Structure 1
Amino acid sequence: MIVGLLKESGNEQRIAFLPEIAARLVQQKVRVFVEKDAGLTAFQSNQLYEEAGAEIVSREEVLTKSDLLVQIGEPSPELVEQLGSDKIWLSQYNPLWNKNLVTQFLQKGITSFSMDSIPRTSRAQAMDVLSSMATVSGYKAVLEGASQLPNFFPMFMTAAGTIRPATVLVLGAGVAGLQAIAIARKLGAQVQAFDVRSAVKEEVMSLGARFVEVEGAKEDAAAGGYAVEQTEEFKQKQQQAINDHAAKADVVICTAQIPGRKAPVLLPKEAVERMKPGSVIVDLAASSGGNCELTQDNETVVHHGVKIIGQSNYPSLMPVDASKMYGKNVFNFLELLIADDGSLNLNFEDDIVAGTCITHQGEVLNSRVKSLFGELIDI
């Protein structure tokens, strides 16, 4: 089997795997084609890939000769049109949002896997790119907030008097939120965290943060650890609690998302207007609408003296370690597809393979994608 590593498009600086992963694939008797200069944005030269046993080739050669194509971002419609039905595509393309791309894969008969659809099971943890990248995002979000805040994070006792510590409010205590809590605490801030899932209270408190609890939240064990849609009554109580805590916060880190849906608005315009001038909101849910009503994706907005940073792709700004983590996740998944002789083995009896596969032979295999789109996908 030939695995082809493609250069990312747009502003993406990561690469789907580093030379160290290319070397491990070669050890598995797999040929690795790398598009020329694919790794430069992540500071990985062509020579490093060649030393790992990969072959540096043109983009056209990667596309035509590879059996399995690997990238981080979603492919453009033009790129998909160049692929034959015998190709296998692997990236993180958010199929719950990208109906047009799913439809195009179906029309072309392409087998596609999306790394953000890895089942959230114990066995699949080593392949969970969402958790890996959320770790990077939570870390970078706090550093961004600290750098933009016109105050210190830690408490200082000086001859000029005592400087009180900054107050950080984290909305959502998933992987990104917990990492944000940990980093904010290490920087000396006082931290509060909100999440509709009461099960995360102990984790939040173990990191030294105060848990903002609102009674009456609806939880669903079948949601795979994600938050679920709440009742209107709970939303009203939740909103009041968040508004009150945000008004006292110096930095708010927004991380709350619901797969396949627009991000819940937790900070409406009036809540922002109650916040102190100079305070900062870092919204990691910007690409799906944002937790703040005023968030603009990939932009910084200032409203009533409050700086609102919409950034959903912090991992791209930390390309070396983010690529290292992503690549290890990819390799652990690819091991399920590689036979002992290095050939391709599509074993759909494996729950991880089946759960991550979105399209195959003109059909939608992933149950969540199928239930969400249903007959909306017309081929």
Structure 2
Amino acid sequence: MIVGVPRESQREEARVPLLPAEVNKLKALGLAVQIEADLAASLKIPDSAYLEMGATVLTDRRQILAESDLILRLNPPPPEEMAGVSPKALHISYLNPFQNQALLQVCLANKIRALSMEWIPRISRAQAMDALTSQASLAGYVAVLLAAEYLPRVFPMMSTPAGTLQPARVLVIGAGVAGLQAIATARRLGARVEGYDLRPEASEQILSLGARAIQIALSSTETNAEGYVTAVSSEQLKRQAEGLAEAVSHSDVVITSAQVFGKPAPLILTEALLDLLKPGSVVVDGAVDSGGNVEGIVADQLIERKGVKLIGYRNLAGRVPHDASRMYSANLYFLLKELADSQAQAETKTWVLDPHNEIYTAALLTSHGEWQQAKLKNFWQGRLG
């Protein structure tokens, strides 16, 4: 069985899907690895590092796509590249399936087995391969560092002969993985931190990190089996805005990371709430990849509105590409290790897929020209013809 790893197609992407350390581990699973030349040039890792671990280096991406049994990538590939994947192959990457109509059309038409890293179930068995969690944690960390860079004051309290500097006040909206990491990082930098999440059970996690949990009485929210919010009503958003007004007004930094599974990110910081911020404040929208939580945010730009800086940089985890690549590469290794049929592997001395593995069946989106996930099929029914 051959694992193929092409370079990422996005020029601005510094992360890579597989590092040399995992090549050796994949070989131990009975897999041969071939990579595209300059795979990790963005990390200053030469091809020779992969060769030393036993990988083959190829210059023709089309050859890798056509010959490989398993294809490992990070970002969703362009549809024209997915069209070059062999129907016998299993393609593993982020797929952003609720926004990628053209890509899914290719997967169905070409009978490609496409496994989405976003759909790895949030169960204890899958923690080591949960790429959403690993990358979101780094994104939360980076969001705080960006805010600290652009805030015209220090985060911690400082006592000096000239007087005492009060700590910066940070508000984190959305206490998922990214939000909790943002809270923890801001606390470590010495800020006074408040956190808020629609889910009442998140308050305990916020408090456990030493932050103050903002409580807003709302009707219950819809969540899926894995804890993701799946729907937010207009009435909930209105009451939420009213409840957040006081906290926003005294915050120096606001970081948002609220996501809704399978839908655009909810608009949380409206212009009315932004008007409450003091000049010099900083807002970091950690949900800009899915539309953004901040009204007027511009993707990949820092803009100033009435003296308040609004940061809308996408791919925050990509700003620490070495560690992000380390974590994603490990996620892929643990995934392939989990998906192996151990009995067949022992007999054949090569990697053999267990098609009945619960993680595989949960994350596989298309196979043999058919939808594998009812939710996705229902979403796209009629849209793809």
TM-score category (smaller protein): over 0.9
| 1:9 aligned residue | 9
Instruction: Give, in whole Å, the separation in 1 of the partners of 2:130 and 2:90.
Output: 20
Question: Given residue 204 of structure 2, which amino acid in structure 1 is its aligned partner?
Answer: E
| 1:39 aligned residue | 40
Is contact 1:242-1:266 (8 Å) kept? Answer: no
Q: CA deviation at 1:244?
A: 2.3
| 2:369 aligned residue | 362
Q: Secondary structure in 1 aligned to 2:231?
A: coil
Is contact 2:230-2:261 (8 Å) kept? Answer: no
Q: CA deviation at 1:360?
A: 0.2
| 2:329 aligned residue | 327
1:272-331 per-residue CA deviation (whole Å, 9 max, x = no partner) reads: 122111111111111211100111111111111111111231111111111111111111
Instruction: Give, in whole Å, the separation in 2 of the partners of 1:73 and 1:102.
Output: 14
Q: Secondary structure in 2 aligned to 1:165?
A: coil
Instruction: Give, in whole Å, the separation in 1 of the partners of 2:17 and 2:373.
Output: 22
Is contact 1:218-1:230 (8 Å) kept? Answer: no
Instruction: Give, in whole Å, the separation in 1 of the partners of 2:301 and 2:349.
Output: 45
How many residues get paired?
Answer: 378
Instruction: Give, in whole Å, the separation in 2 of the partners of 1:123 and 1:20.
Output: 22
Instruction: Give, in whole Å, the separation in 2 of the partners of 1:186 and 1:24.
Output: 35
| 1:184 aligned residue | 186
Q: Secondary structure in 1 aligned to 2:106?
A: helix
Report percent identity of matched pairs: 38
| 2:31 aligned residue | 30
| 2:320 aligned residue | 318
Q: CA deviation at 1:123?
A: 1.3
Instruction: Give, in whole Å, the separation in 2 of the partners of 1:139 and 1:344.
Output: 36
Is contact 1:250-1:276 (8 Å) kept? Answer: yes
| 2:212 aligned residue | 210
Q: CA deviation at 1:350?
A: 1.6
Q: CA deviation at 1:42?
A: 2.2
1:90-118 per-residue CA deviation (whole Å, 9 max, x = no partner) reads: 11111122122111110111111111110
| 2:58 aligned residue | 57
| 1:273 aligned residue | 275
Q: CA deviation at 1:374?
A: 2.7
Is contact 2:218-2:239 (8 Å) kept? Answer: no
TM-score, L = length of structure 2: 0.94
1:227-251 per-residue CA deviation (whole Å, 9 max, x = no partner) reads: 2323443322211122321121111
Instruction: Give, in whole Å, the separation in 2 of the partners of 1:361 and 1:80.
Output: 14
Question: Given residue 358 of structure 2, which amino acid in structure 1 is its aligned partner?
Answer: D
| 1:377 aligned residue | 384
Q: Secondary structure in 2 aligned to 1:191?
A: strand
Aligned-residue CA RMSD (Å): 1.5
Q: Secondary structure in 1 aligned to 2:170?
A: strand
Q: CA deviation at 1:254?
A: 0.7
Please say which of residues 98-107 and 186-195 is displaced more in the overlay: 98-107
Instruction: Give, in whole Å, the separation in 2 of the partners of 1:248 and 1:283.
Output: 18
1:321-353 per-residue CA deviation (whole Å, 9 max, x = no partner) reads: 111111111111112343413545343322110
Instruction: Give, in whole Å, the separation in 2 of the partners of 1:54 and 1:84.
Output: 20
Match of 1:350 among 319, 335, 357: 357
Question: Which residues of 2 match residues 183-262 of structure 1 at below 5 A?
Answer: 183-220=185-222, 222-262=224-264
1:201-257 per-residue CA deviation (whole Å, 9 max, x = no partner) reads: 111001010111111241345341112323443322211122321121111111001
Is contact 2:339-2:357 (8 Å) kept? Answer: no
Match of 1:116 among 87, 98, 118: 118
Q: CA deviation at 1:369?
A: 1.4
Q: CA deviation at 1:175?
A: 0.5
Question: Given residue 165 of structure 2, which amino acid in structure 1 is its aligned partner?
Answer: I
Gaps of 5+ in 2: none
Q: CA deviation at 1:88?
A: 2.1
